[in-house]
């Protein structure tokens, strides 16, 4: 037995020695002769340096510097690689630690909710609450748990808020568009001390009939955002004001995105406001404040395309590819239908800090320009109004039926179209003509004149395009256009167009 253990000891020492020899030969032995070779390198130099001459010494120094640089470069690359590897490992460890912390916080939150439920149950038993009251308290706890566990907590909160709520709004008998415009103007003046011209309010309501995007532009401090704010107050549902950031580049800035790491959808205030409108029956307003701080056609592109579709049932946006059981109830296969009762407003300042609004956006929107503050006037006290959007839509449809575009005015506008094409090589486009068919009748229904409606559309849809032309070489044509408007529509009409043309000539 002793002989066996002696054998085992000798075998163990031999194997470990062989492993050590292998490691030495593989990693250390190849470099052992390097130090001895320096003597050989020196002997080569001693044998030849006397015959180098000046040029030879110069090249020797260059070669020496290159070898030093090569060695330094290799050492530098090794150090950089090692540092990056350490950083990569550290980041991965940080991610794992963050995931553990998130999981721990979620568990602690769940535990806290469980403790809250127990406390509520104890209170129910102590206070002797009725069964219905106890059920209500239990439901509130369930709602909190549902919101926390869902990947759409903000939208689930909206679901819980409106669950079982009757959102029906009765019609207001005998209401007309003109009365609606006057009521809003008086409300803004009497309740909010905001003063707007009658024409601006008529253009606003007619614009909301013709387009789902209203642009309020002009110099700062003229009441653009206040107008959208006042409209929300008037209809008893505050407008959602979303500040646009200069960094916005795509739809995720508006709608959010699904985070694969947290398994949550990063919901934005815009998405929450849009989702809320699916529950409501009134006119709801979402404001993109200072919308041209970023390029509108980038972050709002999907909405610009959707609103071109004729069938409102096609107004859907994709949020998530696959549904889960606890997702918001208004999502259908991961898609959200944009309701017809929502209107998008955008405020835009015209200064050096903003982007120019492109024709693509202008063609799809109705633009109102603010160049000065409204003048105060005495207005009767007017209360806010709760009006279903369906009634406002019927008022629009009734105006389109009662005040169709007259053939004479339509023919004149076609002549004006031909004149602009001939002189300026610009065409109106079918989209503008389609908006005319809605805007003009509704504008007349609001108490305006048909010719003034044409003046507004021509100025804001056609003349605005002239700003991109070289006006210095078109002054004669502009003066001819100015005269043509008087010939076709009579002096004293098309005031907005005359003022715009005068400004183009004066500023160029």
Handedness of CA 383, 389, 391, 394 (dihedral sign): positive
Q: Which of 164, 158, 145, 141 is nearest to 328 (CA)?
A: 158
The predicted pLDDT at position 8 comes to 64
Which of 46-50, 183-187, 189-193, 472-476 bottoms out in mean pLDDT, i.e. has the lowest? 46-50
The predicted pLDDT at position 96 comes to 72
Tell me the C-alpha distance between 411 and 407, whole Å. 6
Q: Is residue 169 part of a domain?
A: no
The answer on 355 and 407 residing in a single domain is no
Collapsing DSSP states into helix, strand and coil, what is residue 409? helix
CA distances from 317 to 20, 268, 269 (A): 67, 15, 16
CA distances from 490 to 174, 377, 455 (A): 36, 31, 12
The predicted pLDDT at position 126 comes to 46
CA atoms within 13 A on the CB side of 371: 5
Q: Is residue 395 part of a domain?
A: no
To the nearest 10°, report the CA torsion of 381, 383, 385, 386.
-170
The predicted pLDDT at position 449 comes to 95
Beta partners for residue 192, in sequence order: none
The mean pLDDT of 47-73, rounded to a whole number, is: 77
The mean pLDDT of 477-501, rounded to a whole number, is: 92
Q: Is residue 90 part of a domain?
A: yes
The predicted pLDDT at position 49 comes to 66
The predicted pLDDT at position 122 comes to 52
- Taking the CA atoms of the chain, what radius of gyration do you get in angstroms? 37
Q: Is residue 160 part of a domain?
A: no
Residue pair 95/260 in contact by the 8 Å Cβ criterion:
no
The predicted pLDDT at position 325 comes to 85
Tokens 């989209």 belong to residue = 431
The answer on 363 and 490 residing in a single domain is no
Which of 100-109, 266-275, 282-291 bottoms out in mean pLDDT, i.e. has the lowest? 100-109
Which of 185-189, 356-360, 381-385 bottoms out in mean pLDDT, i.e. has the lowest? 356-360
Q: Which residues contact 136 (CB under 8 A, 6 or more apart)?
A: none
Q: Which domain range does residue 361 map to? A: 175-388
Tell me the C-alpha distance between 237 and 229, whole Å. 10
Q: Is residue 170 part of a domain?
A: no
pTM of the model: 0.72
Question: For residue 118, what pLDDT band results from cuts at 50, 70 and 90?
Answer: low
φ, ψ at 109 (rounded to 5°): -65, -45
The predicted pLDDT at position 196 comes to 93
- What is the maximum alpha-carbon separation in the chain? 128
- DSSP secondary structure, 85-106, as one string: HHHHHHHHHHHHHHHHHHHHHH
- DSSP secondary structure, 429-467, as one string: -HHHHHHHHHHHHHHHHTT--HHHHHHHHIIIIIGGGGG
Q: What's the distance, CA 162 to chain centroid?
A: 25
Which of 14-28, 208-222, 372-386, 440-454 bottoms out in mean pLDDT, i.e. has the lowest? 14-28
Domain count, the chain: 4
End-to-end CA distance of the chain: 113
For 167-217, how does the pLDDT look when each residue is reduced to its tens digit (9 = 90+)? 899 999 999 999 999 999 999 999 999 999 999 999 999 999 999 999 999
| Percent of all residues in the chain with a pLDDT value above 90, rounded to a whole number | 50
Q: Which stretch, 145-154, 436-445, 471-480, 482-491, has highest mean pLDDT? A: 436-445
Sheet holding 342-349, edge to edge: 240-243, 284-289, 342-349, 213-218, 366-370
The predicted pLDDT at position 129 comes to 47
Domain boundary among 132, 149, 166: 149
CA distances from 205 to 180, 304, 381 (A): 9, 20, 21
The answer on 409 and 383 residing in a single domain is no
| Helices within 193-321 (DSSP H only) | 198-210, 224-234, 252-255, 269-277, 296-299, 301-306
Tell me the C-alpha distance between 508 and 502, whole Å. 10
Q: Is residue 166 part of a domain?
A: no
Tokens 């005359």 belong to residue = 498
The answer on 34 and 77 residing in a single domain is no
φ, ψ at 381 (rounded to 5°): -65, 125
The answer on 20 and 116 residing in a single domain is no
The answer on 421 and 476 residing in a single domain is yes
Q: What is the mean pLDDT of the chain?
A: 85
To the nearest 10°, report the CA torsion of 332, 336, 342, 347.
170
The answer on 145 and 25 residing in a single domain is no
The mean pLDDT of 310-331, rounded to a whole number, is: 91
Which of 75-79, 344-348, 395-399, 434-438 bottoms out in mean pLDDT, i.e. has the lowest? 75-79
Q: Is residue 264 part of a domain?
A: yes
- Retrieve residue 423's tokens: 């002189």
Tell me the C-alpha distance between 29 and 314, whole Å. 76
Q: Is residue 163 part of a domain?
A: no
């Amino acid at each position: 037995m002793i002989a066996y253990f002696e054998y085992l000891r000798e075998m163990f020492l031999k194997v470990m020695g062989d492993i050590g020899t292998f490691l030495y030969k593989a990693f250390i032995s190849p470099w052992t002769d390097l130090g001895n070779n320096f003597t050989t390198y020196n002997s080569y130099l001693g044998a030849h340096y006397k015959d180098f001459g000046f040029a030879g010494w110069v090249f020797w120094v260059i070669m020496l510097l290159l070898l030093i640089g090569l060695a330094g470069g290799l050492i530098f690359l090794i150090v950089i690689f090692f540092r990056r590897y350490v950083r990569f490992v550290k980041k991965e460890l940080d991610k794992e630690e963050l995931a553990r912390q998130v999981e721990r916080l979620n568990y602690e939150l769940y535990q806290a909710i469980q403790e809250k439920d127990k406390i509520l149950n104890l209170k129910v038993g102590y206070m002797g609450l009725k069964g219905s009251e106890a059920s209500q308290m239990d439901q509130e706890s369930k709602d909190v748990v549902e919101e926390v566990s869902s990947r759409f907590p903000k939208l689930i909160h909206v679901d819980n808020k409106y669950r079982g709520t009757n959102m029906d709004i009765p019609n207001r008998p005998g209401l007309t568009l003109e009365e609606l415009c006057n009521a809003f103007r008086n409300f803004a003046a009497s309740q909010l001390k905001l003063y707007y011209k009658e024409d601006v309010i008529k253009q606003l309501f007619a614009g909301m009939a013709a387009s789902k995007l209203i642009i309020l532009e002009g110099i700062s401090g003229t009441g653009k955002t206040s107008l959208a704010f006042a409209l929300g107050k008037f209809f008893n549902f505050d407008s959602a004001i979303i500040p646009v950031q200069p960094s916005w580049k795509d739809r995720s800035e508006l709608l959010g995105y699904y985070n694969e790491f947290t398994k949550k959808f990063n919901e934005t205030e815009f998405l929450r406001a849009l989702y809320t409108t699916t529950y409501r029956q009134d006119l709801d307003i979402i404001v993109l404040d200072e919308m041209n701080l970023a390029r509108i056609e980038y972050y709002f592109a999907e909405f610009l395309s959707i609103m071109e579709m004729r069938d409102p049932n096609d107004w859907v946006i994709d949020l998530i590819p696959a549904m889960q059981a606890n997702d918001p109830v208004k999502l259908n296969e991961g898609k959200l239908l944009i309701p017809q009762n929502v209107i998008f407003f955008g405020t835009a300042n015209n200064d050096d800090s903003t982007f120019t609004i492109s024709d693509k956006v202008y063609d799809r929107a109705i633009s109102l320009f603010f160049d000065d503050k409204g003048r105060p006037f005495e207005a009767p006290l007017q209360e806010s109004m709760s009006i279903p959007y369906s009634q406002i839509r019927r008022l629009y449809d009734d105006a389109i039926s009662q005040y169709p575009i007259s053939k004479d005015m339509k023919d004149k506008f076609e002549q004006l179209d031909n004149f602009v094409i001939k002189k300026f090589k610009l065409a109106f486009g079918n989209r503008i003509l389609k908006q005319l068919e809605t805007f003009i009748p509704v504008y007349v229904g609001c108490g305006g004149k048909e010719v003034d409606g044409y003046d507004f559309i021509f100025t804001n849809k056609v003349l605005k395009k002239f700003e991109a032309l070289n006006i210095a070489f078109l002054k004669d044509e502009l003066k001819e256009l100015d005269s043509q408007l008087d010939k076709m529509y009579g002096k004293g009409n098309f005031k907005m167009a005359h003022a715009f043309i005068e400004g183009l000539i004066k500023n160029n």
